[in-house]
Amino acid sequence: MAFDFRQYTAKFVPASRKVGIDLGTANTLVMVPGEGIVINEPSVVAVSTDDNAILAVGNEAKEMLGRTPDMIVAHRPMKDGVIADYRVTEAMLRYFITKAIGKVRMLRPEVMVCVPAGITSTERRAVVDATLQAGAKAAYIVKEPVAAAIGAGIPIAQSSGNMIIDVGGGTTEIAVISLGGIVTATSARVAGN
């Protein structure tokens, strides 16, 4: 009988972690299967203008809004549901991924990121690239209306249509979902922020 290294290591090495991220204009939510939502923080990053260093992310950075000296700028790297500042978004993703799974870099997670239904292929590629650069082993994209329907427990695989309205911080998504996919969708860059 041949020695199967994969079977042997499966007993001692946990499988790759999976993480779901709703990368929003106003807030970012991180979900880990079996644990639920583990992070719900503002999509805010504090950056030093002197050396362009990332100083704080999430709640800590939001507390700095309007209270920092001129050399520290706290801003939102997402605008209208898409990446406005690639480098800062990558740092924000790295922070949230590390906070969700810990600092074990050997087992990089598979990450699924929600994106607006109406984004371009270039915007989609930017999200995938930023997620991979932030430390993901693999990055997947799911459209926000589909993720919202699944999260609400709507049976999206059935042949009946379901209308989903997702009001976010940067965009409002309206979609009709049937047979596991989006039949029609529109995205308005008007939302709750």
Spatial CB neighbours of 23, under 8 Å, sequence gap ≥ 6: 43, 78, 89, 93, 113, 114, 115, 127
Element (H, E) at 8: helix 5-10
Task: Check the CA dihedral 101-63-23-127 and report its sign.
Answer: negative
Helical H runs in 21-166? 59-64, 86-101, 121-133, 144-151
The CATH H-level superfamily of 17-188 is: ATPase, nucleotide binding domain (3.30.420.40)
Amino acid 111 reads V
> Which of 11-15, 87-91, 107-111, 148-152 comes out lowest in average pLDDT?
11-15
Mean residue pLDDT of the chain comes to: 88
Give pLDDT, residue 9.
44
CB 56 within 8 Å of CB 64: yes
- The top-scoring range by mean pLDDT among 39-43, 52-56, 106-110 is 39-43
Give pLDDT, residue 16.
60
Looking at residues 97-114, what average pLDDT do you find?
86
| CA 161 remoteness from chain centre | 27
Q: How far is CA 141 from CA 8, 131, 193, in A?
A: 32, 10, 23
Backbone angles phi, psi at 88, to 5 degrees: -70, -35
Please tell me whether residue 175 adopts helix, strand or coil conformation. strand
Burial of 101 (0-12, 13-18, 19+ CB in 10 A): buried
- Is the pLDDT at 32 greater than 50, yes or no? yes
